Amino acid sequence: MAKVRTVFRCPDCGASAPKWVGQCPGCAAWGSLVEELDAPLEAVAHALVASSGPPVPIAEVDPTEFTPRPTGVDELDRVLGGGLVPGSVTLLTGEPGIGKSTVLLQAAATVASSGRTVLYLSGEESPQQVRLRAERLGALHPGLFLAAETALPHLISAIDQVQPELVVVDSVQTLVAPELSSAPGSVAQVRECSHRLVQEAKRRGCAVVLVGHVTKEGTLAGPRVLEHVVDTVLAFEGDRHHALRLLRVTKHRFGSTQELGLFEMTESGLVGVPDASGLFLADRRVGVPGSVVVPTMEGVRPILVELQALVADSNLPAPRRSAQGVDSGRLSMILAVVERRVGFPLAKLDVFTLAVGGMKVLEPGADLAVALAVASAMQGRPVPPDLVACGEIGLGGELRQVAHTPRRLAEAARLGFTRAIVPHSAPHDVGGIELIRVGTLLEAMDRLDLFDI
Ligand code: TYD
Ligand code: MG
């Protein structure tokens, strides 16, 4: 085979160099050069003239081309808007150990059990390790093929042999295109391999799922480039100390990015959690001061979460403000409003706040619940156990309604809550739950008997 030439090119200005150099010869940027194949002129020219046909009226475009096929893992299908689209490429990102391989092996198994062929490429674990895990997950189906390749040409010939409808590449950082001299996981390798896989997926009409590790800072290790190349980006999130895992979709060419999938990591793999609110409230002790339930929204999914606050005398010059699963900037603002607009003396107190169950409640809709939890903790008086609180607090202590209030309250009613404290402007007619309408935080505290100091 003739040696393929590579060049090092600057993605910003396009200048190239035959060898890697620290500073771009074109724009003088440092460390910007990335290795890529020096494409022969004919190939470039062909790509430029290749046409996908004449323009057609929009109504005549065939929409069935992008019909998703269910994977059989319900929470994954929910996030994908029905399933994986044939010919599409999906990137699943997440920190190491969060459960990416587990969820994809489960999805691969359910797809295989429905009579379709799946190729699972494992570059990180040996086939023996994957088999052991598959055994525990009950995933030993004849239609599920394993390969432990890391070289791209071998992967493509494996696809040729098996002719799968779904290809899982775990992970894209282990793949190498041998023409490039860069190391696996480098920007050049990840970009080249993912480009080629996108072409293969489109050409064969098989769905491809790529696993991409992210660093602690939450960015893809090296290959941010990938997000532009793929059709769908899924992010698997969670806290190692909790069993809960959240699956979000941050980019989706075939549907909404509003859905959220919830899983619980168990002995026998990931189990979907259709009733998230029930899960979060399962261990709640009613009648404890400092606890308030908020109907929060994750995309279009309402979830009830318990917020807790604890207040203690401080012996520090700057008292502690601790926010676990609560936005610390918003907490500071809420405490300032509680102090200035309601008059609670918080300056010499440590304040701890917590969203129970490993959930992150960062939206303004939780402001009122946080403020009421702090007030309840300070007064040592519980709020009624059948009450939820929902609303945004302004700097003047006034309350504003938040998006999707009816949907939030309907979820609260479904779980047996009978009262909700909401801003004046909240919509009318939310069935099954009595609304306590208030204009300000002070009024809200007064109505709940938390005000007298
Ligand atoms: P894994 O899917 O290997 O994570 P990733 O591919 O994102 O790196 O899952 C890692 C963790 O999940 C591992 O620490 C063990 C745990 N786990 C279970 O608790 N139950 C199971 O059935 C499986 C397969 C894994
Ligand atoms: Mg893995």
For residue 170, the ligand 1 atom closest to its alpha carbon is 6
Neighbours of 413 (CB within 10 A): 18
pLDDT number for residue 50: 57
Same domain for 285 and 413: yes
Same domain for 242 and 194: yes
| Residue 135 located in a structural domain | yes
133 Cβ closer than 6 Å to some ligand 1 atom: yes
Q: Read off the pLDDT of each residue in 177-199 and give the average, rounded to a whole number.
A: 86
Q: Read off the pLDDT of each residue in 32-57 and give the average, rounded to a whole number.
A: 68
| Residue 335 located in a structural domain | yes
Pairing of strands 16-17, 6-9: antiparallel
- pLDDT confidence of 204, banded at 50, 70, 90? very high
| Residue 64 located in a structural domain | no
> From ligand 2's centre to the CA of 125, what distance in Å?
8
* pLDDT tens-place string over residues 286-297: 889 999 999 999
| Residue 229 located in a structural domain | yes
Q: Which tokens go with 170?
A: 């775990």
* pLDDT tens-place string over residues 145-169: 999 988 999 999 999 999 999 999 9
Domain around 13: 1-38
Same domain for 83 and 231: yes
- Structural domain ending residue among the three candidates 240, 274, 308: 274
* pLDDT tens-place string over residues 310-345: 999 999 999 999 999 999 999 999 999 999 999 999
Share of the chain above pLDDT 70, in %: 94
pLDDT number for residue 364: 95
> From ligand 2's centre to the CA of 196, what distance in Å?
22
Residue 282 burial (C-beta neighbours within 10 Å; 0-12, 13-18, 19+): exposed
213 Cβ closer than 6 Å to some ligand 1 atom: no
- Structural domain ending residue among the three candidates 218, 247, 274: 274
Same domain for 112 and 2: no
Q: Read off the pLDDT of each residue in 256-268 and give the average, rounded to a whole number.
A: 89
CB contact at 8 A, 371 and 441: yes
> From ligand 1's centre to the CA of 265, what distance in Å?
8
Same domain for 258 and 114: yes
Phi and psi torsions of 117, nearest 5° = -95, 135
Task: Say yes or no to pLDDT of 439 above 70.
Answer: yes
pLDDT number for residue 399: 97
Task: Say yes or no to pLDDT of 249 above 80.
Answer: yes
Task: Say yes or no to pLDDT of 51 above 70.
Answer: no
- Structural domain ending residue among the three candidates 274, 294, 326: 274
> From ligand 1's centre to the CA of 99, what distance in Å?
5
237 Cβ closer than 6 Å to some ligand 1 atom: no
Same domain for 386 and 304: yes
CA nearest to 122, candidates 110, 132, 112: 132
138 Cβ closer than 6 Å to some ligand 1 atom: no
> From ligand 2's centre to the CA of 1, what distance in Å?
34
168 Cβ closer than 6 Å to some ligand 1 atom: no
- pLDDT confidence of 215, banded at 50, 70, 90? low
Pairing of strands 260-266, 244-252: antiparallel
82: alpha, beta or left? (left if phi > 0; alpha if psi -120 to 50): left
Task: Say yes or no to pLDDT of 7 above 80.
Answer: yes
Question: How far is Cα 32 from Cα 29, in angstroms, rounded to an integer?
Answer: 6
139: alpha, beta or left? (left if phi > 0; alpha if psi -120 to 50): alpha
Neighbours of 383 (CB within 10 A): 26
pLDDT number for residue 4: 67
* pLDDT tens-place string over residues 39-48: 654 555 555 5
Same domain for 310 and 205: no
Question: How far is Cα 26 from Cα 10, in angstroms, rounded to an integer?
Answer: 8
pLDDT number for residue 157: 93
In this prediction the pTM is 0.81
100 Cβ closer than 6 Å to some ligand 1 atom: yes
> From ligand 2's centre to the CA of 170, what distance in Å?
7
> From ligand 2's centre to the CA of 321, what distance in Å?
36
> From ligand 2's centre to the CA of 367, what distance in Å?
37
DSSP of 153-199:
HHHHHHHHHH--SEEEEE-GGG-B-TT--SPTTSHHHHHHHHHHHHH
CATH number at residue 363: 3.30.230.10
DSSP, collapsed to helix, strand or coil, labels residue 215 as coil
- pLDDT confidence of 430, banded at 50, 70, 90? confident
- The residue whose CA has the least distance to atom 21 of ligand 1 is 269
Q: How many CA atoms lie within 13 A of 18 on its CB side?
A: 2
Distance from first CA to last CA of the chain, Å, rounded?
84
Ligand closest to the CA atom of residue 170:
2
DSSP of 19-76:
S--SB-TTT--BS--EEEE---HHHHHHHHH----S---GGGS-GGGG--B--S-HHH
CATH number at residue 200: 3.40.50.300
Give the H/E segment covering residue 279. helix 276-281
* pLDDT tens-place string over residues 372-425: 999 999 999 999 999 999 999 999 999 999 999 999 999 999 889 999 999 999
pLDDT number for residue 171: 87
| Residue 65 located in a structural domain | no
| Residue 384 located in a structural domain | yes
Q: Look at 59-63, 101-105, 167-171, 413-417 and tell me which has the smallest mean pLDDT.
A: 59-63
Ligand closest to the CA atom of residue 240:
1
> From ligand 2's centre to the CA of 265, what distance in Å?
14
122 Cβ closer than 6 Å to some ligand 1 atom: no
Task: Say yes or no to pLDDT of 235 above 60.
Answer: yes
| Residue 303 located in a structural domain | yes
440 Cβ closer than 6 Å to some ligand 1 atom: no
- The residue whose CA has the least distance to atom 14 of ligand 1 is 97
Same domain for 138 and 83: yes
Same domain for 151 and 86: yes
Same domain for 262 and 128: yes
Share of the chain above pLDDT 90, in %: 59
Question: Token pair 């009409």 is at which residue?
Answer: 205
- The structural domain count of the chain equals 3
Ligand closest to the CA atom of residue 99:
1
For residue 125, the ligand 1 atom closest to its alpha carbon is 3
| Residue 163 located in a structural domain | yes
- The residue whose CA has the least distance to atom 23 of ligand 1 is 269
261 Cβ closer than 6 Å to some ligand 1 atom: no
Same domain for 284 and 269: no
Q: Read off the pLDDT of each residue in 89-115 and give the average, rounded to a whole number.
A: 93
Same domain for 372 and 250: no
